[in-house]
């Protein structure tokens, strides 16, 4: 895990190198937040865009690594899932740089499409691993009744996995064809977040009867 952590941390900081190279060409105020349609609605200083965002993600990365290492059930967190979690922050860091820097330099980037492609792919990958995720306190659908009942945990994750995969493919398809936009994305996000919770709660209630 240490080698993977070093590699992923280095990838998180790659945008800093790009920002230093582009420093003289970047404006003093850099767009760092965009609405769903790719229109900037928030700006930050050049220093924050180049150094602050990657360092924040690096801190989040180290926090995730610490949480996985000190999980009371760390033995249930498989190596592939650990690696997957550690590559999320690098993917976000590289994606943010690929969107922010070109936009700051005046290039047109279809940010909405790429953001949806990244999010949809993440849903598909996570959904593929959810059914294989064993009970732990760091990764997965962590609810009082899933953490207290291994059968509830397993059944909830087996239900959620295909749902996340299907939702991810819908988001990817919408990103490419752009037939529904924010409405489909919001609907998918709500469904994959709420449905497993409702299902797990129903299992808990049924078992108590």
What's the confidence (pLDDT) of residue 21? 95
What's the confidence (pLDDT) of residue 36? 77
Which of 1, 164, 157, 138 has the alpha carbon at shortest distance from 83? 1
Contact 183, 150 (CB under 8 A): no
Q: What is the pTM of this model?
A: 0.85
pLDDT tens readout for residues 66-113: 988 888 887 887 778 888 889 999 999 999 999 899 989 988 888 888
What's the confidence (pLDDT) of residue 160? 97
What's the confidence (pLDDT) of residue 1? 67
Helices (H), 70-149: 79-86, 88-104, 111-129, 144-148
Which of 117, 115, 130, 49 has the alpha carbon at shortest distance from 85? 130
Q: What is the mean pLDDT of each run of 10 residues along the chain (209 residues)?
A: 89 96 94 81 91 95 90 80 89 92 87 89 93 90 92 96 96 88 88 96 89
């Amino acid at each position: 895990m240490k080698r993977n952590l070093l590699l992923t941390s280095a990838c998180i900081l790659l945008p800093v190198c790009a920002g230093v190279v582009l420093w003289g060409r970047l404006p003093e105020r850099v767009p760092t937040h965009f609405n769903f349609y790719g229109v900037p609605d928030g700006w930050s200083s050049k220093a924050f865009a180049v150094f602050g965002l990657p360092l924040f993600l690096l801190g989040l990365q180290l926090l995730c690594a610490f949480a996985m290492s000190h999980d009371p059930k760390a033995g249930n967190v498989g190596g592939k899932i650990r690696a997957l979690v550690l590559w999320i922050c690098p993917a976000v860091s590289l994606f943010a740089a690929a969107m922010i820097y070109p936009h700051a330099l005046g290039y047109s980037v279809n940010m909405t499409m790429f953001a949806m492609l990244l999010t949809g792919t993440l849903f598909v990958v996570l959904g593929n691993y959810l059914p294989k995720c064993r009970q732990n306190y760091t990764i997965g659908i962590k609810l009082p009744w899933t953490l207290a009942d291994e059968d509830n945990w397993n059944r909830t994750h087996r239900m959620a996995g295909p749902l996340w995969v299907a939702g991810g493919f819908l988001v990817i398809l919408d990103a490419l064809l752009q037939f529904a936009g924010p409405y489909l994305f919001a609907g998918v996000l709500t469904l994959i977040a709420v449905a497993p919770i409702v299902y797990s709660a129903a299992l808990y209630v049924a078992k108590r009867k």
